[in-house]
């Protein structure tokens, strides 16, 4: 695990606030840097390094889902503050991708999916979380509207797996299969099942899901 440090004390403070889950400090510190006309690209790097550190800590069970979610929210809020400055300078930051996630129809387990959502945001993805018990057609309609690159489907119940298969069938019927990568995960899902239904990828855990989405979208 890397422990990043920054020479500029202000940047180091922002990094530490993000990395150590003092997220309420992040936006005021970012506003301060914007007022000082600090290097904006460097500022984004600092925030990214901080949230990556939170992701590493989560993987090592040093922090837990609430801290991960708060850090992801702080990152989103900081980017909202930074965006007008980026627009002024004509700088376009490439996102890792746009992903619609949800727990499939008939299944109300959503904590694993929330972990994936938070880690995706931390990794620079734009995420639309549809919640749990989501019908296959709702996934597709929302993915179209969100202009998603990928659909992430979570299923913890064996008896909800058929709805994941149905989602892929419906994508084919609606001639949208080429438009979205489909990644599946959750306790009931196996790599063999993903192959059998024609999913593009299988995430054995949150880190695995992000790895596979990065590969697929790039």
In the complex, minimum distance from the CB of residue 123 to another protein, in angstroms, rounded to a whole number? 17
Nearer to another protein, 94 or 192 (CB): 192
In the complex, minimum distance from the CB of residue 60 to another protein, in angstroms, rounded to a whole number? 10
In the complex, minimum distance from the CB of residue 99 to another protein, in angstroms, rounded to a whole number? 20
CA dist 25 and 204 (Å) reads: 34
In the complex, minimum distance from the CB of residue 202 to another protein, in angstroms, rounded to a whole number? 12
Q: Answer yes or no: are the C-beta atoms of 145 and 118 closer than 8 Å.
A: no
CA dist 190 and 155 (Å) reads: 10
Nearer to another protein, 81 or 162 (CB): 162
The residues that touch another protein, with contacts defined as CB under 8 A, are: 58-59, 61, 64-66, 105-109, 111-112, 115, 157-163, 165, 187-188, 190, 205
CA dist 204 and 197 (Å) reads: 17
Structure token digits, residue 5: 């440090």
CA dist 95 and 104 (Å) reads: 26
Q: What is the dihedral of CA 4, 8, 9, 12, to 10 degrees?
A: -30
Nearer to another protein, 98 or 165 (CB): 165
Nearer to another protein, 27 or 59 (CB): 59
Q: Measuring CA to CA, which residue among 208, 55, 179 is closest to residue 121?
A: 55
158-181 burial: b if 16+ Cβ within 10 Å, else e: eebbebbbbbbebbeeeeebebbb
The gap between the terminal CA atoms of the chain, to the nearest Å, is 24
In the complex, minimum distance from the CB of residue 72 to another protein, in angstroms, rounded to a whole number? 13
- Percent composition of the chain: helix, strand, coil (DSSP 3-state, to 5): 60, 10, 30
In the complex, minimum distance from the CB of residue 1 to another protein, in angstroms, rounded to a whole number? 15
Nearer to another protein, 86 or 106 (CB): 106
Nearer to another protein, 137 or 158 (CB): 158
């Amino acid at each position: 695990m890397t422990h990043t440090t920054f020479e500029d004390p202000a940047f180091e403070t922002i990094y530490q606030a993000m990395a150590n889950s003092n997220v309420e400090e992040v936006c005021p510190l970012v506003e301060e840097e914007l007022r000082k006309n600090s290097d904006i690209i460097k500022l984004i790097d600092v925030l990214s390094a901080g949230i990556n550190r939170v992701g590493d800590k989560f993987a090592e069970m040093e922090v837990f889902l609430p801290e991960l979610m708060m850090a992801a929210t702080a990152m989103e809020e900081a980017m909202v503050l930074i965006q007008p400055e980026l627009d002024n300078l004509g700088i376009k930051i490439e996102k890792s991708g746009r992903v619609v996630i949800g727990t499939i129809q008939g299944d109300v387990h959503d904590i694993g999916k929330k972990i994936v959502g938070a880690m995706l945001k931390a990794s620079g993805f734009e995420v639309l979380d549809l919640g749990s018990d989501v019908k296959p057609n709702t996934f597709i309609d929302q993915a179209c509207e969100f202009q998603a690159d990928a659909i992430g489907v979570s299923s913890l119940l064996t008896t909800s797996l058929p709805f994941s298969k149905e989602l892929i069938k419906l994508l084919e019927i609606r001639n949208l299969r080429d438009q979205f990568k489909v990644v599946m995960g959750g306790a009931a899902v196996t790599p063999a099942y993903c192959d059998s239904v024609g999913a593009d990828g299988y995430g054995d855990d949150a880190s695995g899901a992000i790895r596979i989405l990065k590969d697929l979208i790039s």
